[in-house]
């Protein structure tokens, strides 16, 4: 039976870990002879890397599965990831799904497709003529940090999976399982390979990054050791950290971070609420004052670092007074960015069974208030940088990011993606647009 070159389209939903896994799926498919095409095009296989962190994420996952089925009714539609893990056999949950792949089997998707082809007597995919990605990558690629010209900029680096925290609202420990960490040698080997492709910035991420190494206490590999090992590699220009638990931010930890030249002073500390009673009901393991201590340590050791966070509004039983405590807390900290989500009930979690569920209308009223606070605080932070010198890594369309992750756009002559330069930050032309740049 003649082998044919098949087209695969991939769409990612959810977190940075999902994005990393999506990139690995694309690379494996290419090495097996597939061509990756934009999701909007007709393909033989549609792979949706799903998310289930909220009801909205579930709905988006279903919408993308249905969209794939409509684009090519003859295609094979594959649902992968957390939606599958929390809903059992996905083919029984949604008729649009042909193949359901749990998180533990994502890396085997090419083999799963081969088995499907054999069992359904479909022409097998041809072997690639060469290992070069460029022949099989099309515009609309899976890697969100690869330019259309083939230049790579930054890359997610998944170093850990799973979570043991069991926050009362969260379904992810059930979808991802207990913590599991990669070895430092394994991670650095991957980074060496990626720097050879041209990547210069790495976003170190995991489902619960602060737990890195805690599943192997005998190995004595901790997150700080990993960051130092990546920093020591040639051609690594920038390291960013994914979401951290505030309790990992200690005086000794931050003093060591400060010594790492490639580390970007952008720190995402998960908050969820500024009210201690709500934090307790959420099963978060810190108080507001302890969180503030972590913020103060970072600001003492880094020059105006960008501190970002997540907040859930409308958690069960959140009284008007408790919501106001969160508002005042955010005003006190003045985060650079606050990612705000209305509480979403997840069947099987303790919070789903709690009394005092807040109405949808009230959750969205509170959401609107916090979004306005976020807009004000974001603008205040960026204004402090106007007129200051910063380093920018350019990606596409003459846009790039400072080490603090301020989005910058340069007018005039085009800048090649992957270029790192310094410049003076200027007022954006209009509210909400990237900060301007004057090269120096």
pLDDT for position 137: 41
Residues in contact with 196: Cβ distance below 8 Å, sequence separation at least 6, in sequence order: none
Checking if the pLDDT of 126 tops 60, the result is no
Residue 76 placed within a domain: yes
CA distance 238 to 241: 10
| Higher pLDDT pick, 91 / 179 | 179
What tens digit of pLDDT does each residue of 200-232 get? Answer: 999 999 999 999 999 987 777 899 999 999 999
What tens digit of pLDDT does each residue of 133-170 get? Answer: 434 444 334 444 444 444 568 899 999 999 999 999 99
Which of 86, 113, 135 finishes a domain?
135
pLDDT for position 125: 57
Residues in contact with 258: Cβ distance below 8 Å, sequence separation at least 6, in sequence order: 301, 302
Q: What is the mean pLDDT of the chain?
A: 89
Tell me which residue of 372, 272, 285 sits closest to 331, measured CA to CA.
372
Residue 107 placed within a domain: yes
Residues in contact with 314: Cβ distance below 8 Å, sequence separation at least 6, in sequence order: 342, 343, 358, 362, 363, 366, 367
CA distance 343 to 327: 16
pLDDT for position 147: 43
Residue 422 placed within a domain: yes
pLDDT for position 234: 92
Residue 71 placed within a domain: yes
Residue 150 placed within a domain: no
pLDDT for position 128: 46
Checking if the pLDDT of 367 tops 70, the result is yes
What tens digit of pLDDT does each residue of 19-64 get? Answer: 899 988 999 999 889 999 999 999 999 999 999 888 888 889 999 9
Tell me which residue of 186, 272, 263, 278 sits closest to 232, measured CA to CA.
263
pLDDT for position 205: 95
pLDDT for position 129: 45
Residue 423 placed within a domain: yes
What tens digit of pLDDT does each residue of 251-280 get? Answer: 999 999 999 999 999 999 999 999 999 999
Which of 135, 154, 175 finishes a domain?
135
Mean pLDDT of 293-303: 97
Checking if the pLDDT of 428 tops 90, the result is no
Specify whether the CB–CB gap between 255 and 232 falls below 8 A: no
Band (pLDDT 50/70/90 cuts) for residue 123 is low
Tell me which residue of 49, 52, 56, 63 sits closest to 20, measured CA to CA.
49
Mean pLDDT of 103-120: 88
Q: Count structural domains, the chain.
A: 2
Residue 373 placed within a domain: no
DSSP letter, residue 105: G
Domain, as residue range, for 21: 7-135
211: alpha, beta or left? (left if phi > 0; alpha if psi -120 to 50): alpha
Among the listed ranges 31-35, 369-373, 384-388, which one has the minimum average pLDDT value? 31-35
CA distance 396 to 167: 38
pLDDT for position 142: 42
- CATH code (residue 17): 3.40.50.12160
CA distance 260 to 345: 41
Tell me which residue of 56, 50, 53, 41 sits closest to 8, measured CA to CA.
41
Residue 265 placed within a domain: no
Q: Is 307 helix (H, G, I), strand (E, B) or coil?
A: strand
The sheet with strand 76-81 has its strands ordered as 35-37, 7-12, 45-50, 76-81, 99-101
Our measurement of the distance from residue 318's CA atom to the centroid of its chain's CA atoms, rounded to an integer in Å, reads 28
The sheet with strand 266-268 has its strands ordered as 266-268, 306-313, 337-342
Which of 135, 157, 189 finishes a domain?
135
Among 4-8, 153-157, 222-226, 414-418, the range with the most confident prediction by mean pLDDT is 222-226
SS3 content of the chain, % helix, strand, coil (to 5): 40, 20, 40
**Tokens matching residue 113:** 């497709």
| Higher pLDDT pick, 364 / 86 | 364
| Angle (deg, nearest 10), helices 288-301 and 251-258 | 30
Neighbours of 1 (CB within 10 A): 9
According to DSSP, the residues that pair with 437 across neighbouring strands are: 425
Tell me which residue of 277, 272, 371, 372 sits closest to 320, measured CA to CA.
277
What tens digit of pLDDT does each residue of 336-351 get? Answer: 999 999 999 998 899 9
**Tokens matching residue 245:** 């638990």
Please tell me the pTM assigned to this model.
0.85
Among the listed ranges 116-120, 141-145, 234-238, which one has the minimum average pLDDT value? 141-145
């Amino acid at each position: 039976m003649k082998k044919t070159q098949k087209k695969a389209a991939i769409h990612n939903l959810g977190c940075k870990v999902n994005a990393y896994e999506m990139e690995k799926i694309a690379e494996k498919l290419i090495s097996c002879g597939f061509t990756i095409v934009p999701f909007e095009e007709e393909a033989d296989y549609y792979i949706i890397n799903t998310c289930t962190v909220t009801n909205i994420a579930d709905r988006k996952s279903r919408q993308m599965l249905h969209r794939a089925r409509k684009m090519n009714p003859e295609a094979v539609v594959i649902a992968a990831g957390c939606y599958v893990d929390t809903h059992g056999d996905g083919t029984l949950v949604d008729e649009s799904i042909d193949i359901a792949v749990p998180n533990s089997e994502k890396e085997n998707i090419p083999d799963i497709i081969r088995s499907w082809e054999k069992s359904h007597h479909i022409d097998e995919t041809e072997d690639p003529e060469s290992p070069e990605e460029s022949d099989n990558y099309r515009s609309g690629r899976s890697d969100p940090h690869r330019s259309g010209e083939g230049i790579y900029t930054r890359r997610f680096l998944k170093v850990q999976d799973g979570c043991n925290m069991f926050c009362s609202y969260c379904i992810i420990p059930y979808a991802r399982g207990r913590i599991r960490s990669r070895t430092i040698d394994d991670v650095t080997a991957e980074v060496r390979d990626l720097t050879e492709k041209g990547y210069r910035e790495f976003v170190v991420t995991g489902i619960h990054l602060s737990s890195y190494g805690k599943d192997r206490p005998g190995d004595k590999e901790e997150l700080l050791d990993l960051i130092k090992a990546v920093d020591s590699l040639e051609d690594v220009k920038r390291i960013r950290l994914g979401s951290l638990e505030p309790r990992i931010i200690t005086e000794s930890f931050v003093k060591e971070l400060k010594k790492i030249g490639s580390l970007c002073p952008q720190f995402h500390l998960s908050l969820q609420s500024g009210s201690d009673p709500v934090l307790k009901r959420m099963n978060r393991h810190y108080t507001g004052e302890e969180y503030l201590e972590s913020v103060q340590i970072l600001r003492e050791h880094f020059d105006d670092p960008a501190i970002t966070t997540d907040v859930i509004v409308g958690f069960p039983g959140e009284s008007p007074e408790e919501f106001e405590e969160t508002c005042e807390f955010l005003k006190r900290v003045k985060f650079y960015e606050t990612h705000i989500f209305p509480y979403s009930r997840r069947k099987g979690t303790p919070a789903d069974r709690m009394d005092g569920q807040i109405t949808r209308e009230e959750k969205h009223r509170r959401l609107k208030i916090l979004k306005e606070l976020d807009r004000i605080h974001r603008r205040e932070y960026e204004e402090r940088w106007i007129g200051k010198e910063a380093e920018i890594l350019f990606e596409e369309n003459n846009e790039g990011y400072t080490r603090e992750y301020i989005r910058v756009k340069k007018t005039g002559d085009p800048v090649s993606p992957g270029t790192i330069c310094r410049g003076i930050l200027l007022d954006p032309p209009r509210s909400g647009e990237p900060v301007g740049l004057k090269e120096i």
